[in-house]
């Protein structure tokens, strides 16, 4: 029996990076095959090449035993390959049906869409794979899990027999993950081949028939899940030099730096996205906030830095109430901010590096003198930052666009830390950057902490949270539901709090005394916006 997919010696280079280096992969028909690897291991590039979005520089691709060269997604679709992207490719303002049929619309002679036929086929696909969703709903009204189902239907609608799922569980809550896995098993039973990317090892072991591990663009091993443990997999993924963020001696002092009390933020629909949050961070302390994304972390940080106006509550730094101050006044008072998405809130992509470095500090020395921008001072400082933080760039006049993600991130971190702030709010500081840069960022955060910096760390990476934080608080549905000691908390316990599952769990373990009395009232979790 020929394999569904066979990749031989696939290599793909980007300027400055080898994304895939001699990758070999065999996926049997009708199996669920997982691809594991760290961020930057080259998983997504591999999947994009399989779906015709990028062409390999070297190597051969065989689908059902036939050598193919895919130059566009259409080619891939014609070969029976479908892809569910990590960031859903759905138009919010279109209906489910419209999203699904797009590109393979059943039409009559004059180009008019045959909606009856479309609906029939849609229902047929949905029924045979047990995927239910109303075809007439607008996509914007759907939950995340439902959107993913639309994406899967989209692929099946085209008769795909090979499904590529790019980190399908990253955006899902546990119940949705169970639902997804049920669907995946149904699909397999109907003869589909599934290739999925993941780096949550427990999940991989639960669902996959075989697992291929990628590291730094190379295929390290293909293993049977029955033969390995999560620990084995982790070792394969990171090699010997796992950058573990270890906590050295505590540098926490008694001096309160940030004091947030009773903070409530409403969204456009008047829902309480941050609900009566109180939090204290001391000098030299890193407080990590754990939580599934979208539970109010971003709004909490935004209200602290001042880009969002809270409904009520106070924010004070070193005893000064800043709740009504502007972002600039807060920055001048000693707040710094590493945003969750460097391209959205972090950088002026078209501006040179030195202007990016001045951003946020343009009222302070050495970036300005009186009403004038101090170009010389700013450039000199930029060169220093590039040096200290190992930002690799030909000079400080290139635009921020030109830098890789890791270098951009180090640039932002350098900008925010070198002005000696009292408080740093860092959201996902190592997201999407390579392992080397990640270790560097962690080092910088630890050094700054030793220097007395109070840090609010938000991260989806539990290793990072546990490794760096002095205290971990869990945010769920806009509330802080638990305060935990990273020294004896496990990812499993954290996960239970993050998903609200601890409500059914008798022994979550490791619950430290609360920072504020109201911070640990776990029974308040039930109160839903």
Tell me the window of 243-251, 332-340, 474-482, 500-508 that interacts with another protein (CB under 8 A): 332-340
Binding of residue 309 to another protein (CB under 8 A): no
Q: b vs e for 286-300, b when ≥16 Cβ sit within 10 Å of the residue's Cβ?
A: bbbbbbbeebbbbbb
Structure tokens at 342: 């460097």
- Contact pick of 339, 421, 478, 486 for another protein (by CB under 8 A): 339
Q: Please, what is the minimum distance in Å from the beta carbon of residue 94 to another protein?
A: 6
CB 515 within 8 A of CB 274: no
Site for another protein in 125-164 (CB under 8 A): 154
Q: Can you tell me which of 328, 376, 443, 527 binds another protein, judged by CB under 8 A?
A: 328
User: Contact at 8 Å (CB) between 149 and 183?
Assistant: yes
**Alpha-carbon torsion angle 412, 414, 419, 423, nearest 10:** 70
Under rule CB under 8 A, how many of the chain's residues touch another protein? Answer: 73
- Please report where in the chains the tokens 């933080």 appear, as a residue: 389
Site string for another protein, 249-278 (x = CB under 8 A): ------------------------------
- Asked if 158 and 147 touch (Cβ cutoff 8 Å), the reply is no
Stretch that binds another protein, among 38-46, 70-78, 165-173, 512-520 (CB under 8 A): 70-78
Phi and psi, residue 287, nearest 5°? -105, 120
- Site mask, another protein, residues 96-125, x = CB under 8 A? --xx-xxxxx-x--xxxx------------
Contact between 210 and another protein (CB under 8 A)? no
247 binds another protein (CB under 8 A): no
Q: Measured from the CB of residue 163, what is the shortest distance to another protein in angstroms?
A: 14
Query: Per CB under 8 A, does 41 bind another protein?
Result: no
Q: Is position 326 an interface residue for another protein (rule: CB under 8 A)?
A: yes
Does the N-terminal peptide bond of residue 529 adopt cis geometry, omega within 30 degrees of 0? no
Residue 343 Ramachandran class (φ > 0 left, ψ -120 to 50 alpha, else beta): alpha
For Cα atoms 70, 76, 79, give the angle at the middle one, nearest 5 degrees.
Answer: 110
The three-state secondary structure class of 277 is: strand
Under the binding rule (CB under 8 A), the answer on residue 71 touching another protein is: no
Binding to another protein (CB under 8 A): which residues in 417-456? none
Give the contact letters, 352-391, x = binds to another protein (CB under 8 A), - = no. ---x--xxx-xx----x--xxx-x--------------x-
Contact between 344 and another protein by CB under 8 A: the answer reads yes
Best CA proximity match to 82, nearest among 6, 145, 164, 11: 164
């Amino acid at each position: 029996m020929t394999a569904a997919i066979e990749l031989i010696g696939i290599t793909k280079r980007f300027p400055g990076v080898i994304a895939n280096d001699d990758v070999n992969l065999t996926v049997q028909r009708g199996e669920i095959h997982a691809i594991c690897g760290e961020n930057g291991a080259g998983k997504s590039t591999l999947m994009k090449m399989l779906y015709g979005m990028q062409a390999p520089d070297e190597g051969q691709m065989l689908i059902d035993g036939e050598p193919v060269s895919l130059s566009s997604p259409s080619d891939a679709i014609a070969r029976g390959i479908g892809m569910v992207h990590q960031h859903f490719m759905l138009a919010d303002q279109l209906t489910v049906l419209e999203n699904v049929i797009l590109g393979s619309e059943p039409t009559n002679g004059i180009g008019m869409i045959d909606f009856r036929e479309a609906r029939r086929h849609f229902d047929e696909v949905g029924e045979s794979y047990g995927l239910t969703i109303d075809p007439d709903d607008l996509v914007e009204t759907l939950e995340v899990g439902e959107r993913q189902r639309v994406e899967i239907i989209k692929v099946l609608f085209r008769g795909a027999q090979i499904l590529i799922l790019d980190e399908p569980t990253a955006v899902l809550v546990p119940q949705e993950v169970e639902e997804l896995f049920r669907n995946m098993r149904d699909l397999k039973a109907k003869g589909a081949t599934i290739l999925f990317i993941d780096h949550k090892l427990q999940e991989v072991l639960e669902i996959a028939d075989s697992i291929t591990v990628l590291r730094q663009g190379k295929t390290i091993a293909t293993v049977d899940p029955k033969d390995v443990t999560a620990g084995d997999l982790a070792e394969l993924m990171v090699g010997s030099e796992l950058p573990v963020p270890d906590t050295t001696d505590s540098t926490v002092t008694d001096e309160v730096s940030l004091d947030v009390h009773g903070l409530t933020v409403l969204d456009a629909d008047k829902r309480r996205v941050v609900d009566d949050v109180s939090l204290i961070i001391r000098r030299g302390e890193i407080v990590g906030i754990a939580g599934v994304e979208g539970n109010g972390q971003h709004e909490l940080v935004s209200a602290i830095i001042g880009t969002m106006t809270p409904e009520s509550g106070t924010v004070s730094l070193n005893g000064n109430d800043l709740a009504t101050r502007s972002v600039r006044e807060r920055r001048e008072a000693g707040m710094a901010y590493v945003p969750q998405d460097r391209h959205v809130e972090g950088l002026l992509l078209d501006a040179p590096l030195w202007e990016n470095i001045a951003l946020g500090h343009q009222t302070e020395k050495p970036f300005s003198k009186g009403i004038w921008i101090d170009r010389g001072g700013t450039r000199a400082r930029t060169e220093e930052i590039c040096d200290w933080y190992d930002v690799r760039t030909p000079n400080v006049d290139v635009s921020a666009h030109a830098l890789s993600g890791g270098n951009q991130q180090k640039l932002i971190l350098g900008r925010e830390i070198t002005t000696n702030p009292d408080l740093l709010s860092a959201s996902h500081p190592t997201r999407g950057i390579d392992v080397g840069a990640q270790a560097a960022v962690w080092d910088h955060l630890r050094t700054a902490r030793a220097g007395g910096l109070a840090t609010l760390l938000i991260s989806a990476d539990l290793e990072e949270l546990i490794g760096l934080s002095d205290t971990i608080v869990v945010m769920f549905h806009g509330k802080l539901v638990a305060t935990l000691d990273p020294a004896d908390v496990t990812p499993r316990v954290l996960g239970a709090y993050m998903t609200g599952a601890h409500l059914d769990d008798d022994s979550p373990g490791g619950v430290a005394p609360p920072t504020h009395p109201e911070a640990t009232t776990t029974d308040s979790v039930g109160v839903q916006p």
